[in-house]
Amino acid sequence: MHPDDLQPLRERTIQLALAHAPGDGQHPTALPWLRLIRASAPALPVPAIYEPGLVLVLQGRKQAQLGGRIVQYDAMHCLLVPVTALPRGRVVEASADKPYVCLRLSCDTQALAELLLGADATPADRDADTGLQVAPVTAPLLDAAQRLLQLLAQPQDLNALAPLVQREIFYRVLTGPLGPRLRALAQGDGVARRLNRVIERLTRQFDQPFSIAELAALAHMSPSTLHLRFKQMTALSPLQFQKSLRLQHARRLLLGDGLDAASAAHRVGYESASQFSREYRRLFGAPPREDVTLRRSAAG
């Protein structure tokens, strides 16, 4: 379908989204796995946690940088995140008249795997990168997104029908061009599936210490092979991945819960407050207290 043919459907979907996202920022919905995000201006790159799921842009454009790779996604291309990733993300196209608007649908890795296994059989591309993936937006995908937003105004139908539409949305993406690449996460005991065990371990227990030997055993790899393969998928070493998770969770505690730096550092697994402050500054560009002050000033 020509991009212009999707525009009427996209315009209706944008209006539905804006009704539930009246201002800039992240907007939770009655569905715990669906958030709406709106921005009225471009922004500088910031470290982010991209959890498994789908980012469907309705208007504007965003990019994510993972190592040396920059992924662009806009109203014609959605972003699929098959495993937890830690890129630097930024809105690059947005204005007050035409704000950046997107849907963020969470979906755990197991659910993605089940969908792939239930789809028409296509061979897995075991050598493919299974990090951030961009897929074209199709009319069936956009139509499903519109129906999902319409359900937000139908509370009597929401709990029964929304999960079915969620499954349809991911099905539309996974049965498209990305299917063979992502099937590597669902089939057998390939490299991607084994690396995902390590990523899930670090994500669930980011505040706990680990040894490379432990992670290598989990992945059925030698420590050197694990280090190489993990960095190919995430652009980080396992230790760097854990540090970034810890610091970003600490930032949420500082901004959202009002914890002081020492308490936040302890909560996410740091034993040394000074080490925490150094590494926080290295990632976010300012020490904890200054960063919190700047963020709050910018927000209001």
Q: Where are the domains of the chain?
A: 3-185, 189-300
Q: What is the mean pLDDT of residues 87-103?
A: 96
Q: What is the mean pLDDT of residues 173-192?
A: 76
Q: What is the mean pLDDT of residues 114-133?
A: 65
pLDDT band at 15 (very low <50, low <70, confident <90, very high): very high
Q: Closest Cα partner for 58 from 79, 28, 82, 41?
A: 79
**According to the model, what pLDDT value does residue 67 have?**
86
Which residues, 6 or more positions from 185, have their beta carbon under 8 angstroms from its beta carbon?
A: 82, 83, 109, 112, 113, 116, 130, 192, 193, 196
CATH topology of domain 3-185: Jelly Rolls (2.60.120)
Q: Closest Cα partner for 229 from 249, 204, 205, 212?
A: 212
Q: Could you give the CA distance from residue 230 to residue 131 in angstroms, rounded to a whole number?
A: 11
127, amino acid identity: D
DSSP 151: H
**According to the model, what pLDDT value does residue 142 have?**
95
- Name beta bridge partners: 77: 74, 136
> Using DSSP, how many helices (H) and how many strands (E) does the chain show?
12, 10
Task: Match domain 189-300 to its CATH number in 3.30.360.10, 1.20.1630.10, 3.10.290.10, 1.10.10.60.
Answer: 1.10.10.60
Cα dihedral across residues 103, 107, 111, 113: positive or negative: positive
Please report, to the nearest 10 degrees, the dihedral formed by the alpha carbons of residues 2, 138, 77, 149 taken in order. 120
With 90 as the cut, is the pLDDT of residue 180 above it?
no
Q: Closest Cα partner for 247 from 229, 264, 259?
A: 264
Q: Could you give the CA distance from residue 212 to residue 192 in angstroms, rounded to a whole number?
A: 18
| 222 vs 119, more confident | 222
With 60 as the cut, is the pLDDT of residue 55 above it?
yes
- Name beta bridge partners: 39: 100
**According to the model, what pLDDT value does residue 127 have?**
47
**According to the model, what pLDDT value does residue 137 have?**
93
CA angle 36, 176, 57 (to 5 degrees): 20
Q: Which residue has the tokens 């590597």?
A: 184
**According to the model, what pLDDT value does residue 83 have?**
85
With 80 as the cut, is the pLDDT of residue 123 above it?
no
pLDDT band at 268 (very low <50, low <70, confident <90, very high): very high
